[in-house]
Structure formats: structure tokens, C-alpha cells
Amino acid sequence: MLVRSVPHIPQLLHSNGQPPKGSSLFAANRDFVFVDFVGLCCKSKRTRRRIGDLNGRSFHRLATKNWSAIRAVLDLERVSNASEQVSDLKRKVAHLDDILSERGACGVGFIANLENKASHEIIKDAVTALGCMEHRGGCGADNDSGDGSGLMTSIPWDLFNDWAGKQGIGSIDKLHTGVGMVFLPKDDDLVNKAKTVIINIFKQEGLEVLGWRPVPVDASVVGYYARETMPNIQQVFVRVVKEENIDDIERELYVCRKLIERAVKSEAWASELYFCSLSNRTIVYKGMLRSEILARFYSDLQSNLYRSPFAIYHRRYSTNTSPRWPLAQPMRLLGHNGEINTIQGNLNWMQSRETSLKSPVWHGRENEICPYGNPKASDSANLDSAAELLLRSGRTPEEALMILVPEAYKKHPTLSIKYPEVVDFYDYYKGQMEAWDGPALLLFSDGKTVGACLDRNGLRPARYWRTRDNVVYVASEVGVLPVDDSKITMKGRLGPGMMISVDLQSGQVYENMEVKKRVALSNPYGKWVNENMRSFKPVNFLSTTVMDSEAILRCQQAYGYSSEDVQMVIETMAAQGKEPTFCMGDDIPLAVLSQKAHMLYDYFKQRFAQALELSDKNGHSEVMSQTGTNLSMNLASAVFFFRPAHVGHQRDLYDGKRLQLACYMESCLQPRGKYVQHHHTRIIIILLVSHLYTLESEVILVEAEQLKSLLIEQYMWCGLPVETVLHIVSFIMEVVDHGCLGKRNMMHEVTNPAIDPLREGLVMSLEVNLGKRGNILEVGPENASQVILPSPVLNEGELETLLKDPHLKPQVLSTFFDIRKGVDGSLEKTLYKLCQAADEAVRNGSQLLVLSDRSDELEPTRPAIPILLAVGAVHQHLIQNGLRMSASIVADTAQCFSTHQFACLIGYGASAVCPYLALETCRHWRLSNKTVNMMRNGKMPTVTIEQAQKNFCKGGEKGNGRPFCI
């Protein structure tokens, strides 16, 4: 059979739908894979089938039954010295960390004394409340291994001075001493190495290590699973002599911790070294423990010398992540109940702004404290890191969380009237920092204040009350402590986007708007917004057509439109103002297997939220998830077609593992920015994944290591890269381990309430900020100089208006390439030139890049780069060169007409899209005789030519409201 799957390149197809001879962009050996299927019944007879015509079930049947024949005829180069590499690979273990799997839902609360009196009663009450939240967590089959609990308190100086006196260190100067709670490796040699690095970094920064204190723990109360991974827990005491201000001391300790993390990053044991806290004010005791045994494990918590004026407690439930000691909470600043659904985007944008973040408080050392996010940590840990960066740069905890987790203020009925300064604050920062969105009850403390805030949707519970003895309580549920109702002087609950803060130094309690008003009035945000931010006024749609009937048909064919696309998508949206819905299934060949040309968008699908729990026969579970609104390659969907009947009740397990395997291999084998698709590799991937099902009956007959060796040899034979083979085999072994040999599985949904732009329209907005995104660490009027678009969908007049904005200095970049020039005019070369042109434009001051495929005349030898590829390439290039925050990207394209395509472009870097050919199609449809007659006869609602275009844009906006809010 011949397999050809070429993503559609605009204008490359002739009228017969086939690529012109001699103009193919791909080498023949990458276009075609020749495979003969040998029939099982009649081996002398050869059967030739076209994969593009097979549905998933038929293809799987052929693939699995004829695997040896397929492998024997695939024209792939064998790997040299395969046997030597195989023997070496057996000793290696592949490990994948997926940020999308690191989420949680928990029980949290805090207790604070308004008089700032440190007492052991606060600790006892926090431990009691934590014990009452055991039901909010999970435990292993041994009933003792918890998935995380902990306390954050002020530093118990009395306890540590008692220890220091016994050690001959003398009294500790608490004004100039920092205390680090450190998880060290279990191996003694590695402990010494880690300590050496830590001591050297402190010495290098002018700090003096006073001593190390092994934290007294009772390992006998810890379950088997937690004990197996339990770190060596010690505390380090550091004297800071060159700083007098406590905020400067905290900043110096923060820098040291970042330098230590960078110093051990390349070490194999880097993940075993973790600072729970390193501060002059606060300390964190936590672990992979059940809440009721936390105080039994840490005997310090039982000592009467352990006194604190506040305590934040946290019981973690790993909704869809594997528990680990460092992932227990509280973190260094926050305790988080919920999950950040936008975490992947947040991490990407934090990476994008690394080179632009500057502040005088760092004295030019910003590069030393990078990176600001960690893909191997949890969503809570990364949010904590972002908040800590703002805090150490001079913001208060309340201000940091208002920036990172803003409330839904745009459609608030009274906020702009009663508190305009708060609206100005949010307007100012909306263009500087994307929201960290998702269910979140966040408790915070920097040692001076303690507080809590809720996400904009109010998806987690939070109750608070105050008693006559000046103690404030906040908890994710009532009843965690026995409090006499007669002593309560104030109580309530946090609503969506609300906040409460306790100032330990002044003894004041500030409720929601009191907190926000104080923060908003710290700078003249209203003046900066009014003087610099420009609201974009809508421009009327065109009332006449631009192209004649022949020209628009030629353009539609060149840019990949089909008659179904025009009639069932564009015309429906123009008539009804919403995207069309269909009741029939989609059984056409996948884009990756189809012989017909497809637009690049067709290789992408939306990922939805699900959680998969894998449990062994002893009850020990591991939970994996695929959650988010990210678009993944169609290959992930391809493997979902393969559902053999013999998998039976384990289908959900295989589907979850298969999705992870496919997505990973796709990212591994298709590097970002590479357009040329290795189609033979794609076919191999699908065959390999399908081949997983032939293993179930075989694995019982062989040992695990034998099976692993067999798989490595087989996949190395296929010519896959060494690293890829390791990861593939690791995944397959995990599937075999969990899917067979007496183990079971269970699938459950993430516990997020449904969110959609219809029922929750109050908290939804499609507003877009265009222009340079300023330095988030410094405030000033220049950061407010942006253009505000009401929607990411533009018409031609609005784009023309933007191109005349003198502040944005827009630059139009053509996306055409000329195949007549050979290599110099190739797609790859043109992409490189496009990225260089974008780079140069931004460096010359342009704040708006318009990638356009408009042309006065179409030529078969001068096609346009797929706009999704162009947008993604420019986006990634600017990120890699530290320029992404300096400009916005707008796509002026004919290659966009559906909500999926809008979502792809925006998801891969575009701020707005002008679908000029789709709008022209709307105009032609409205003026056609057929449409006029149907409206005249009452068979269709009457709409004007302007209304038809407005309906199309409205449909695009409504359609994208759903994936943007998931």
C-alpha cells in the first residue's frame, strides 16, 4: 500500500486535488511507506490495502495480525551496534514528569492571634483541626502512608535556643538568623555532598552556617510506602550579617536557595534535595503523612517550647497526582486547596518573561534566580514560586495574589461604582500578568500577615470566624475546632474572588474590599490607565464584496476550503450567529492517515479533563490525569480508535496510558518548529501502540526483564532514537504492570463543577490586550500603554485601524514562500526568514506583528505558509530570544473559518485573528440569489450584509468561550 499524509499547504494543489509534479515539498522516502500485508490464511497471496480507507478498528485488526510482516517490510535503516546499545539500555530507567498531572484538592485553614502572642495553644489547635480534616486526604493500603499534611508557623525560637544551648552554640540572634527546613537525600554520602554545596553557597554569599539540627522524628508511625521515600530531614541555621532590614534578609535567603537549586540541578540526586522553607520569619513542617500522625512524627510539635502566634495547616488529597514528600503542603508562602487549570500556559508565559523581569532590589542578579517555574513541580508549587517572586521583589502577599489570582471584575454590577480604584488596579495588571485560574482557596503568610483568598469562580469553600479572645480562624469547613458560639464576634464565608487578611503587627482584620482598596491606592493606577490605555472602538463591517465570484472560489480552493466548510460552517454561522452542531458521527480517515490533503489544524485536537487511578492488588494507587485546554496532535486521537474486545474492563486503563504514550512520542518525534512531517515514523508509532494489545497474552509467560529486553531490541530495530526507545519501553512496561498480573483500575472525573460561558457569563471575558507587556516587578505608567480589544476576532476595518496606531508601530510580515527558488525559497528557509524579520521588527520597537497571507494574485508556485505554523514559529522564536513580552501577534489570514481554527491560532500565540476570506464568503453568501430568495420566502431569518458578518464573528466568539473556560 501507499501511505501519503501531507498537511494542506495553501495554493499548492491544482484543480485535480493532487500536488503538482516536481513541486513536492517532501522527499519521497518521507512521503511514502510501502507495506505488504501477508494474509494469515493464504500466505502465498499478497493483499494490498490502503490505510487511508480503513477505519480504526479495521486498521488495528490488520496491524496486530500482521505485525511481523509489517515489521519485515518497513523500509527503515537499522541502528548500528544495536546489541551493544540494548545491553546498555537495560540498565537505564526512563522517568517522565508531566506538569499536567500535578494537581490536588485539600483541606486547609489557619489560626491567628490578633495580639501577636506566640503560644503553644495555637499549635495544639492547628494539630487538632488538621486531625479533623483527615477525611479530606487519602492514605495508602497500609493505612499509615498519607498523601501529605503539614503546618506553617513562625519560627519557634525558644525551642531552637534550647537546642542551641545544649549544643554549645549559645543564644541565636533571631533578628539576623535564617532557619532552613531541608529534605536531604537518604544516602549518607549524598547528604554530605548536599551539605557541602549548601555551605559553600552560603559562604559565597557572605552568610555563616551556625549548625545543622537533625529534626527529631518517629519513623515508626509512618507507613511503609512513605517510609521507603522518606528523606533525611534536618534544619540549617544561617547568620546573615550584611543585611539589617528583615525584608533584605529574606531576599538574601531567597537568592541563596535559588543558587543552591541551580548548583545541584545537574546532579542525579537533585530531586532529593528540597527546602521546605528558608526564612527569618516562618518555618514549614510537612511530609507524606496522615494529618493525625503529623505531631507524632514531628516531636517538635508536641513541645511546649514550640510557640507561634499563627499556624497554617494543610491536609492534601491527591485528586490526580502521585504524592511525594516535597509536594506536601503548605508550600513556602501558600497553602492551596484546589488546582490551577491554566498551569501549562502560566508556566510558558513565566518562561517567556524571564529575560524582561528586572528590579533594583535584585542588583542585576535576576538571571541567578531563574527559572521562576519548575515543570517537575506541582501547580501549587509553581503558583507559590510566582507569588514568592513578587513578594521578594517588594510586593505584599495580598498584592501578589491580587495580581496572580484576580477576581472577575469586568461585569461586576457595583465594583466600578463603589470602588473604581480597585477596577483600575485590575485593568492595569490584566495586560501584565495572565491569571492563574482554577479552583483555589489560597492561604498565605509571610510571617507579618496571614490571610486567605478565593478564586474568581468561588469553587472552593472557605469559612472564617473571630472570637472574643482575639483569635481569627479560617477553614475549608466548619466544625474543625470546638468553639463556643457565644464567644464568636464575627463570622462569614469567602465568596468568589474575595479575600481576608490579618495584620499580626497591628492586630487588625481586613475584609475583602478593605484589603483591595489599600492595595489599589498604593499607586495611581487610575491615572496611568486613563492616560495610557486605549480602548478600541469597533469599526463597521464592509457592505460590499471585494472579490468577484470566480476569484473567491479560487481563493477558497487554494486555502483549503471545501464546499461543506462553506455551506455547513461559514454560512450557518453567518445566518445563526453560532457554530453549527451535527448529529452524525465522524468516521472519515484521520488526517494522519488520510490520502487527501488536510489543513494543519486537522492534526490537532482539544484535550479534556479526566483522572485515571491505577490500583494494585494491595490497594496502593497512582493517579494520572490529562487535564487542560491544550491542543495535542491528532495522533493521540488516532490511538483511541484501537479498542480490541479482549481488553474488556481494562479499556479505560489502556486508553489513559495510550494517550500519554501517543502524546509523548508525538512531542518527542515531532520537534517544535519542524514542519516536515516524518510520515513513516507516524505510521510506526500507531503500529507500536496498536501492538501493545498483543502483549497481554504473552507477558505471563516471560519475566519482566525478558519482556523489556525483547521490546528494546524490537524498537531499536525500527530505527527509533535511543532516548525514545527508552521512554516507549518504560510506558509499555507500566501498561503491562498495571494492566495485567492481577491488578485493577478505576477511572474518575476531576471534581470541578461545570464552567461554561452561558451560566457563568459574569466571570467570562474575551477582552484582549495588544502591545508590549511590561516588567511585572516594577510599576509605572509605561506598563499601561496598551490597546484593549473587546474580542480576538477582528474585521478588516478594525485591522486597518490597528495598522495606523503610532504607539504600536505595527509591522506586516508576509507568510508566502517561492518554491521556484529551490532551497532558498523552501518552507524551512522562509520560516527562518520570517522569524528573523519578526525578531528585527521587535528589536526596532514594533509592538504589533501582523502575519498576513493576503495577496493580489494567487500563484501555484508561491504558496502561503500554514498560518498556524507561522504563528507558532514566530511565537517560539521570540520566546527563545527573550522578546515575546515586547510584542503581540495578529494573524491576518484566509486560513481560518471555524472555532477550532480560532482556538488553535490563539492557543499557539496569536492575540487576535482577522479571517478576511471567511468574512468575504459571508458577504457573497448574503448577496447570492439563493440567500435573497430564501429570506424573501421566509425560509431564513432576514439579515443584512453587515449582520451576516457580525453573526459570523459572534459565532466564533461564542464557540471559543467554551474551550477557553474549561
- The top-level CATH class assigned to 157-280 is alpha beta
Calpha distance 153→258 (Å, rounded): 22
The yes-or-no verdict on residue 507 having pLDDT over 90 is yes
- Give the residue numbers marked as catalytic: 106
Centre a 10 Å sphere on the Cβ of residue 747 and count the other Cβ atoms it contains.
14
Spell out a b/e string for 451-460, using b for 16 or more CB atoms within 10 Å of the CB, else e.
bbbbbbbbbb
Report the pLDDT value the prediction gives residue 823, as an integer from 0 to 100. Answer: 86
DSSP annotation of 864 reads B
Model confidence band, residue 378 (pLDDT cutoffs 50, 70, 90): confident
The values of phi and psi at residue 422, to 5°, are -70, -40
**Mean predicted confidence (pLDDT) in 232-243:** 92
Q: Beta 811-814 vs 848-852: how paired, if at all? A: parallel
Class for the domain spanning 791-965: alpha beta
The one-character DSSP state at 895 is S
Which residue intervals of the chain bear CATH 3.30.70.260? Answer: 157-280
Please choose, from the candidates 163, 150, 365, the residue with its C-alpha nearest in 3D space to the C-alpha of residue 256: 365
Cβ contact 951:575 at 8 Å: yes
Sign (positive or negative) of CA dihedral 248, 251, 257, 262: negative
- For residue 585, what pLDDT is reported? 66
Please state, for a pLDDT cut of 90, what percent of the chain lies above it.
Answer: 52
End-to-end CA distance of the chain: 41
Look at residue 570 and tell me whether its pLDDT is greater than 90.
Answer: yes
Q: Which residue ranges does the chain devote to CATH 3.20.20.70? A: 791-965
Average pLDDT score over residue span 249-277: 95
Q: State the pLDDT at residue 539.
A: 92
User: Considering only CA atoms, which of 520, 742, 750, 817 is closest in space to residue 613?
Assistant: 750
User: Bigger pLDDT: 85 or 755?
Assistant: 755
Whole-model pTM?
A: 0.77
Which DSSP state fits 542?
Answer: P
Distance separating alpha carbons of residues 405 and 397, to the nearest angstrom: 12
The pLDDT-based confidence of 615 (bands split at 50, 70, 90) is very low
911-927 pLDDT, tens digit each: 999 999 999 999 999 99
3-state helix, strand, coil in the chain (%, to 5): 45, 20, 40
Pairing between β-strand 912-915 and β-strand 888-893 as defined by DSSP bridges:
parallel
With a cut of 50, say whether residue 355 has pLDDT above it: yes
Tell me the C-alpha distance between 809 and 796, whole Å. 18
Question: Among the ranges 57-61, 95-99, 952-956, which has the highest mean pLDDT value?
Answer: 952-956
pLDDT at 79: 32
DSSP line for 946-957: HHHHHHHHHHHH
DSSP single-letter state for residue 7: B
Judge whether residue 746 has pLDDT over 80.
no
Which comes out higher in pLDDT, residue 737 or 349? 349
Residue 921 burial (10 A CB sphere; 0-12, 13-18, 19+)? buried
The per-residue pLDDT for range 626-675, each reduced to its tens digit, is 333 333 333 332 222 222 223 333 333 333 444 444 444 444 444 333 33
- Burial 392-403, CB ≥16 within 10 A → b, else e: bbebbbbbbbbb
Q: Torsion angle of alpha carbons 320, 324, 330, 336, nearest 10°?
A: -10
Contacts of 394 (CB under 8 A, 6+ apart): 247, 359, 361, 777
Task: Give whichever of 57-66, 240-249, 736-745, 864-873 has the largest mean pLDDT.
Answer: 864-873
Most confident option among 477-481, 500-504, 555-559: 500-504
Q: Which amino acid is at 95?
A: H
Apex 776 CA angle, 774 and 780, nearest 5: 65
Please name the residues in contact with 832: beta carbons below 8 A apart, sequence gap of 6 or more. none
Dump pLDDT digits (tens) for 122-175: 999 999 999 998 888 777 666 677 788 999 999 999 999 999 998 888 889 999
Q: Where are the strands (E) in 897-946, listed by range?
A: 912-915
SS (H, E, C) 566-593: HHHHHHHHHHHCCCCCCCCCCCCCCCCC
Provide the pLDDT confidence category of residue 593 given band limits of 50, 70 and 90. confident
